[in-house]
């Protein structure tokens, strides 16, 4: 496994603003993912962050709302744009390696509250 960190760990934001969440891994990984966990709910995959190319989004999630970057093999960002209270969730990144790509390891999450 690896050490995965996220910044910020939590934030309270105003409606209409944007927040960028960072995910840093202490070793190179093949795959990086972003999930959302709404209050009291399970996890839903937002997108797969692809190094050097556009992210692959799941149904119901769009790039304009959740732009993602992955400039290298150890770092990715997720931006939550034009936020509304419905975006209040925990956002988690996860990582996996080729050859063991079925197994994902998660960061500590970013707890976002939108007022």
Partner 1 sequence: GDSVTQMEGPVTLSEEAFLTINCTYTATGYPSLFWYVQYPGEGLQLLLKATKADDKGSNKGFEATYRKETTSFHLEKGSVQVSDSAVYFCALNSGGSNYKLTFGKGTLLTVNP
Binding site for partner 1 (CB under 8 A): 1, 6, 31, 33, 35, 41-45, 48, 56, 58, 92, 94, 96, 101-109
Whether the bond into 92 is cis, omega within 30 of 0: no
Give, for 84, the enclosing helix (H) or strand (E): none
The CB-of-6 to partner 1 minimum distance in angstroms stands at: 8
Nearer to partner 1, 9 or 17 (CB): 9
Conformational region of residue 108, where left means phi above 0, alpha means psi within -120 to 50, and beta covers everything else: alpha
Opening angle at CA 43, ends 37 and 49, nearest 5: 95
Q: Which is nearer to partner 1, 23 or 114 (CB)?
A: 23
Specify the residue, 13 or 31, whose C-beta has the smaller distance to partner 1: 31
Min CB(58)–partner 1 separation in Å: 7
CB of 92 to partner 1, least distance (A): 6
Which residue pairs, CB below 8 angstroms and at least 24 apart, start in 41-44? 43/92
């Amino acid at each position: 496994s690896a050490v995965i960190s996220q910044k910020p760990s939590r934030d309270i934001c105003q409606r209409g603003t944007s927040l960028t969440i960072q995910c840093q891994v202490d070793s190179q990984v093949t795959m990086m993912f972003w999930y959302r966990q709404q209050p009291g709910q399970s996890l839903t995959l937002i997108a797969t962050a692809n190094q050097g190319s556009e992210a692959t989004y799941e149904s119901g999630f769009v790039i304009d709302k959740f732009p993602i970057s992955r400039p290298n093999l150890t770092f990715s960002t997720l931006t939550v744009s034009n936020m509304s209270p419905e975006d209040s969730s925990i956002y988690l990144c996860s990582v996996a390696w080729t050859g063991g790509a079925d197994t994902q390891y998660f960061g500590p999450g970013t707890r976002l509250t939108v007022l």
